[in-house]
Structure 1
Amino acid sequence: MNIYIYNCSNTFNYGSMMMGENFISYFNKITGTKNNYYLETVEEINIKRIIEATGINEIYSVGMNSLFKEELNKYDYMFSYMKFKKVISGFANGIDLVIVLGGDDFTEYYGWKSPIVNGIKLNLLKKEGLKVVMFGQTMGPYHSFRKPIMKQLLSKIDKIYPRDPITYNYLKEFGLKNISITDDLALLPLSKQELKEKTKKYITYCPSELIYRYSKEGNRQDWIDFNLFMIDKIMNKYKDKKLVLLAHVLKPEHVDDRIIVNELYGLVKHKYMDRIIIENNEMYPYGVRNYIQQSLFTISSRMHPVVSSIQCEIPAIALSYSSKYWGIIDERYGLGEYIIDVRYLSYDEMKEKFVCLMDKIELEYEPIQQKIKNKNKLANENIMQTLREIVDLDDGK
């Protein structure tokens, strides 16, 4: 089977890489065959990294937007949707299945134009007879004139798999029939993930160069000050632990977490000496999980380090800036009380809650782990069932 994968073009966003590598690894296991996977990317290194992480060689690089002709603009897609123009590339004729991996790019968090244009593009592929599946999505809400447009576009997709109940219920109320709930692909073990002893010798923190832009109050310096507060509280409370400052997104440059990781390290390294570990080099997601498995708990301003922490059965404190955290961590796992939502809390409120959550994790450590373990079993079963459904969907074409 020839499978085209959207949204795995950047393996230096470890969350995206985990979803991509797990889809490829587990889909091969489900089908029992060596499928060919075509990943959009502008850098060949991303393909090499996926091959290294999965051990699967049938993964190939294609340019961005390869299912369509070159040098198109948004109006070309609209004209094609109205049957005035042909925009599908010859390469698309050899593709059996199109997978749109999750993320939140079909929300309006980052603007409303992109979901519409991408929805039109997926509909054009459908009109050419390709099977199109959206896997692990956080979607909506849509507003104003976009509501009927997005409902029409999304209703034509073969199958949409939201990764959380908030999205699923929204799409159901939206009137879509082609939906089934699943779980985030990163909740599955990675191919090269080692089973490490839970030594609890670390506390892993994944800061974000993005999140302060969504905070209720304050600029970047206020966010740095809040981070320093958390670090001081951790280092004074857990004098036998080492703090790992780990960059989870390295590209693109404007959201490179190494910027804030390096800055924080520079501000605290002399104060805490060898108790601070900095991980700002290129890694594989399984390397990240090696740290997490040996941590007492995880803190993250990115969602997927929290997802990895859940997969490793390690408690986590999530610093949230969108509903996707609540959909997975709260609705799916019942761990919403460990979310600090920066959109609604002042810095003083966040500081108070952070201190309380460290105490709460200590008091409820084993019950948290047992809850995660039980939910992980259900998530694994659900994802594997979803993959089987996708195989059946393609067999029925």
Structure 2
Amino acid sequence: MFENLKPQPADKILALMQMFREDPREQKIDLGVGVYKNAEGVTPVMRAVKAAEKQLWEAETTKAYTGLAGDPAYGDAMINLILGSSVARDTIAAVATPGGTGAVRQAFELIKMANPGARVFVSDPTWPNHLSILKYVGIETVTYRYFDRETRGVNFDGMMEDLKGAQKGDVVLLHGCCHNPTGANLNLTQWQEVVDLLNAQGLIPMIDIAYQGFGDGLEEDAAGVRLVASSCPETLIAASCSKNFGIYRERTGLLMAVANDASGQALNQKTLAFLNRQNYSFPPDHGARLVTMILNDDALRADWAAELEEVRLGMLGLRQSLADELQRLTGSDRFGFIAQHRGMFSLLGTTPELVEKMRVDAGIYMVGDSRLNIAGLNAQTVPILAKAIVDAGV
């Protein structure tokens, strides 16, 4: 049997990480892996997470399963964080998942079950795992223009023109905030135009929100998601706690399905629980319980929000420093887009050949599509990266 297996393509980011580890140069910079790091190059455990874990260690009395959907309190806390009061709670079905990736996978499974002929429209570019999972589950994928390589902003006219080719029942996959890999985001006026198009053509929005709080703030980053979910008859939302709670290894995610009414919610809830059962049965609970404790405790929530804001402002500061240094070196503001982007990533919009040149000449490791992780920088490495960008002729 095993002899019939075929080699699968290597994950480019994991391969890049291996190359970085094997590079003997002391002055090398890892801007590839999509994990937040502080100025010391460490992904820290947040203060509120540590405090919640201490409380949990004292109070927890069992490791028994919670339920196929996870602890309902976790779903309620996350729904409140992401959607606030924008959508009636009795229309929202939710299940805990192993990370945001698990939520994305279960959403695609739900789409295939509900409408086997549906196509999923994805931005060009998008997070590579979107495309990989869609291909694996056998859903037809159509790309829509998103990134303008001249301005390094959103090609909104191209996006809207391409989405007009979608048919009733097709799904449009959107990034809730901090677009991965570009860092270029829709403004609220554009979100409203997208909503109008979705409703006019009978399209189903699916939103992947993995970086709430990393862009313009917790409430601001959720504004587009809330607008869509409150304006469209049906919405799928895949959420991750890996970044904004810093609990990557705990694999803590949530999938929400917003229905038109309460009767639709009941069916969706049973279907999502069924899908969990078929895939991994009961979802992990440790990370979800920590998130629930933090969001439901005023003191823990305030401390978490304050530390998250420090992280967000730190990344914005690095963005501005890099844009300023590039302007100083080039005498041009053509890299000003770096300061305008939001979240962990920016897409330089250059060629794989120049990305490789920066790796060989200066030990700068970034993904071949020129995505760089802003959180991989610090005050000392910003000038090094800026010089490498200029020297490579980006």
> Structure 2 length normalisation: TM-score?
0.30
> Structure 1 length normalisation: TM-score?
0.30
